[in-house]
Structure 1
Amino acid sequence: MDSWLTTVALPIALGIVMLGLGLGLTIGDFRRVATYPKLVLIALGCQIVLLPALCFGLVIAFGLRPELALGMMLLAASPGGTTANLYSHLFGGHVALNVTLTAVNSVLAVLTLPVVVNLSSSYFLSDGASIGLQLDKVVQVFAIVLIPVAIGMFLRSRLPALADRLARPVKILSVVVLVAVVVGAIVNERDNIAEYFVAVGLIVLVFNVLSLAVGYGLPRLAGVGRRESIAAGMEIGIHNSTLAITIAVSPALLNSTTIAIPAAVYGIVMFFTAAAFGYLVSRRRNTTEAQPDLDPTR
């Protein structure tokens, strides 16, 4: 489970993708994030409180065995991954908002993830396995998100003509990288995929779809603009399965491949559900773009 794909290839690939995203961002994009305080509060509330509660209800309803139940809670407590930024970019979301939310969620996860996992472990497991504050893992995610973006933004500010020329090729490369990661994940786990999907495939799918719907729907109900709601939907709906797998299989932490199964299945399913979600909301945006969005600060 903890293979070269999750430990080496995926972080490098996502770093390249984030570099491409940075080519289209400016400091002004991040300043404008401050105009969406309501959205930031909604997104963080969903990530920290609503999704773990929703996942707990699903786990109880599906009657998962203890290790798989803990794996689902670990997944729900994991912050949004860098893949969310890519999907937001591809389907017209507010990428600067995604980057900001990912960074904030990654920092907050230092506190929230251990709390959710430790409480869940005490509830589901007789031995009550626990984890500590995994600052190094959060810092790793933080670096994958921010450093490549900062380099891309530097090129945008200093060499705007070059950034413009690179924007389209890098976006195409991002799609190629995404497809390569999906294929690599399937090939890498080809002997176990059927067993994994039988065990948790349905609950993972339901949780993923609900996460995307909540992440997009609640901001829209609150009057937030469509681009910003797409960003929130991707951020809340696409969890960092790599982080969850690493915590689950690490000998110093939970040391269980069984606990990692939900995150492994999710890491495959989310690519397809997020693409379908992105297509639906971007298509809806195209059909209603003549109608102005409500003021997100109201």
Structure 2
Amino acid sequence: MSPDLLTKVILPLSLFLIMFGMGLSLKIADFKNVVKSPKAVAIGLIGQMLILPLAAFIIAIALQLPPEIAVGLMIIALAPGGATSNMFTYLSKGDVSLSISLTAVVSVITPFTIPVMAALSMSFFMANSSEFSLPVIKTIVQLLVITVIPVAIGMFVLSRWSNFAGKLENFLKWFSVLFLILIIALIAMKNKDEMLNFFAQAGLATLLLNIVVLVIGYQMAKLARLTHAQAVSIGFEVGIQNGTLALLVAGSLIGNEIMMIPAITYSLIMFFSGAAFGWWINKHNNR
């Protein structure tokens, strides 16, 4: 499998299907929940849209990451949550409705914020390099086509054929998680001699980012006196990002394989750290 086939065909198509599957689980009521739980949603949005990128920026500076690795770290921090964060929320007895609502809202916002913030990150970290660029308007349109439009189609299918949508959504939910694992496995096989080097370059940064924002998201919710279930949801929404989208932005839209490295290491690490975090918060809560 050539890199072009993976980044230009398989990644966009898989993300389209993943976002379509997300749409199959969404109703207009999920967006109305934003109004019903404004405090919880506000904490989640602040954590994901502000604290998460800020944490990535501080880590990139503190660890003196190479420019392209630093931009890749910023891209994963700019991505929304996804099926994986929803899955961890469910398994950890969090507020699934809040998790889905936050994922939906942030997924609508990020097609506009990712191109702008990624371009600014490239300008800051790669000021002396003009080899790679990110056309902001074109990228916004591409992300809208790949993310928002399939969500809207999925919501339409759910409104018209709910039984069929329920069956298909259950399949696509697990497909999104398994397909991310498959993509990472294919990349790992293709670069098997470089995987240790990948982790040497980005492993510590992505591990720190993942753990720090999981804890910050959860503690922000606790300090705001939200329920334990809401705190669990916000912890995972802030701490577990859409690795497939980050891979697509770095590999397909920007066309830089080095920038994909943080998304690769992050996507491998998050399954273990997410499971450990879910076990820890529930053990702590039971005490």
What's the TM-score bracket when you normalise by the shorter of the two chains?
0.7 to 0.9
- How far 1:69 moved relative to its partner? 0.9
Q: Counterpart of 1:77?
A: 78
Match of 1:135 among 138, 141, 154: 141
Pick closer, same or farther for the CA change 1:278–1:137 going to 2, 3 Å: same
Where do residues 9-28 of structure 1 align in structure 2 (5 Å cutoff)? 12=17, 22=25
Count of residues in correspondence between the two structures: 274
Which whole-Å CA distance do the structure 2 matches of 1:103 and 1:93 have between them? 17
Q: Does the CA contact (< 8 Å) of 2:72 and 2:263 recur in 1?
A: yes
Which whole-Å CA distance do the structure 1 matches of 2:276 and 2:80 have between them? 21
Where do residues 148-163 of structure 1 align in structure 2 (5 Å cutoff)? 148=154
Q: Counterpart of 2:184?
A: 185
TM-score normalized with structure 2 length: 0.79
Query: CA deviation digits over 1:98-137, x for unaligned, max 9?
Result: 2221222122223322232122111111135542142332
For residue 223 of structure 1, what is the amino acid of its counterpart? R
Where do residues 93-104 of structure 1 align in structure 2 (5 Å cutoff)? 93-104=94-105
Which whole-Å CA distance do the structure 2 matches of 1:151 and 1:228 have between them? 29
Which whole-Å CA distance do the structure 1 matches of 2:173 and 2:213 have between them? 24
- How far 1:138 moved relative to its partner? 3.9
Which whole-Å CA distance do the structure 2 matches of 1:95 and 1:151 have between them? 21
For residue 147 of structure 2, what is the amino acid of its counterpart? V
Q: Does the CA contact (< 8 Å) of 2:210 and 2:240 recur in 1?
A: yes
Q: Which runs of 5+ in 1 are unaligned?
A: 289-298
Q: Counterpart of 1:277?
A: 277
TM-score normalized with structure 1 length: 0.76
- How far 1:63 moved relative to its partner? 1.0
For residue 115 of structure 1, what is the amino acid of its counterpart? V
Where do residues 185-224 of structure 1 align in structure 2 (5 Å cutoff)? 185-190=184-189, 191=192, 192-224=194-226
Q: Which runs of 5+ in 2 are unaligned?
A: none
Query: CA deviation digits over 1:42-77, x for unaligned, max 9?
Result: 221122222212111111111111111111112212
Q: Counterpart of 1:58?
A: 59
For residue 77 of structure 1, what is the amino acid of its counterpart? L
Which whole-Å CA distance do the structure 2 matches of 1:104 and 1:60 have between them? 29
Which whole-Å CA distance do the structure 1 matches of 2:278 and 2:160 have between them? 28
Q: Counterpart of 1:266?
A: 266
Which whole-Å CA distance do the structure 2 matches of 1:141 and 1:80 have between them? 12
For residue 279 of structure 1, what is the amino acid of its counterpart? W
SS of the residue corresponding to residue 258 of structure 1 reads: coil
Q: Counterpart of 1:257?
A: 257
Pick closer, same or farther for the CA change 1:258–1:51 going to 2, 3 Å: same
Please identify, of 121-130 and 209-218, the stretch whose mean Cα deviation from structure 2 is larger: 121-130
Q: Does the CA contact (< 8 Å) of 1:14 and 1:83 recur in 2?
A: no
Give RMSD over aligned pairs: 3.4
Q: Does the CA contact (< 8 Å) of 1:137 and 1:243 recur in 2?
A: no
Q: Percentage identity across aligned positions?
A: 31
Q: Counterpart of 1:119?
A: 120
